[in-house]
């Protein structure tokens, strides 16, 4: 899979992908990341990528010509998707990350200043993506987040692909608690069920804890989730315990 990132600050990516899982995936040739300086696609001697907005507002807007030129030159003859990182976009989540991982090429345009010329959004971009309800100084950090999250769904990137399926949000729930050695740390003990050897009991405990954490921290996720009979039973049990405590 190939990621192409279009930015006016290419040096911001010098270290982001230089370590960890993404770096290993690049070294193995599983994914490819190309950083493109938007100014390389200008035609004037000043390499201008922005201009004042019509209507007299403050700030600057990224011009359409270099962005169109960049995407048209970068886009490969494969299944490709062009995305703009902006606060006005669709909220990025696990489902969208998995969807993007199905493409052979994802082009990420990093927004800046007051935004980009609307014609880019209307006639060039396939998806407008936001990583949250807040404003960054630019789309570079958001692009890095998208690359990292999407890469985990690309086969071969994560050593144990089964672990991706159990991540928070992948199954519509927050993750269950995880423990490692020692069993007893300063009197804080690992739940005994995890040493029972009863895999069904452990699976039920994990599901219950995931449901409980989701109920407390992200109840909105449960409103859109189709619950199994076991999950409904566990939720009743959790709510009863919370009332009694």
Domain boundaries, the chain: 2-151, 184-244
Superfamily the domain 2-151 falls into: SPOUT methyltransferase, trefoil knot domain (3.40.1280.10)
What the block records as the tokens of 164 is 């991706």
pLDDT in the model for residue 166: 57
What CA–CA distance (Å, rounded) separates 237 from 233?
Answer: 6
Please identify which of the residues 65, 167, 171, 175 carries the catalytic annotation. 167
167 annotated active-site? yes
> Annotated catalytic, 181?
no
3-state class (DSSP) for residue 7: strand
Of residues 64, 66, 152, 212, which has the active-site annotation?
Answer: 152
pTM: 0.89
pLDDT the model gives residue 78: 96
Q: Which stretches of the chain drop beneath a pLDDT of 50?
A: none
Task: Spot the catalytic one: 65, 114, 171, 175.
Answer: 114
CATH domain 184-244 topology: 1.10.1270
Q: What is the DSSP pairing of strand 32-37 with strand 2-7?
A: parallel
pLDDT at 72: 98
What would the pLDDT profile of 120-164 be if each residue is shown by its tens digit?
Answer: 999 999 999 999 999 999 999 999 999 999 999 999 999 766 566
User: CA geometry: angle at 175 spanning 171 and 176, to 5°?
Assistant: 120
């Amino acid at each position: 899979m190939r990621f192409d990132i279009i930015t006016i600050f290419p040096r911001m990516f010098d270290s982001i992908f230089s370590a960890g899982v993404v770096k290993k995936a690049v070294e193995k040739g599983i994914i490819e990341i190309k950083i493109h300086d938007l100014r390389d696609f200008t035609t004037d001697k000043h390499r201008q990528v922005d201009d004042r907005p019509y209507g007299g507002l403050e700030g600057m807007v990224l011009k359409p010509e270099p962005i169109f030129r960049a995407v048209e030159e970068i886009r490969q003859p494969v299944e490709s998707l062009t995305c703009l990182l902006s606060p006005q976009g669709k909220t990025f989540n696990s489902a969208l990350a998995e969807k993007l991982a199905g493409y052979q090429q994802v082009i990420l345009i990093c927004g800046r200043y007051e935004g980009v010329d609307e014609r880019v959004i209307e006639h060039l971009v396939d998806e407008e993506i936001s990583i949250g309800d807040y404003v960054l100084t630019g789309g570079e950090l958001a692009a890095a987040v998208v690359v990292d999250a999407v890469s985990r769904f690309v086969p071969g990137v994560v050593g144990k692909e089964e672990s991706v399926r159990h991540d928070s949000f992948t199954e519509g729930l927050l993750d269950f608690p995880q423990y490692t050695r020692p069993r007893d740390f300063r009197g804080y003990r690992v739940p005994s069920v995890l040493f029972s050897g009863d895999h069904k009991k452990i699976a039920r405990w994990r599901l219950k804890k995931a449901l409980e954490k989701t109920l407390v921290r992200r109840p909105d996720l449960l409103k859109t989730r189709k619950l199994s009979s076991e999950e409904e039973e566990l939720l009743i049990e959790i709510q009863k315990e919370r009332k009694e405590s």
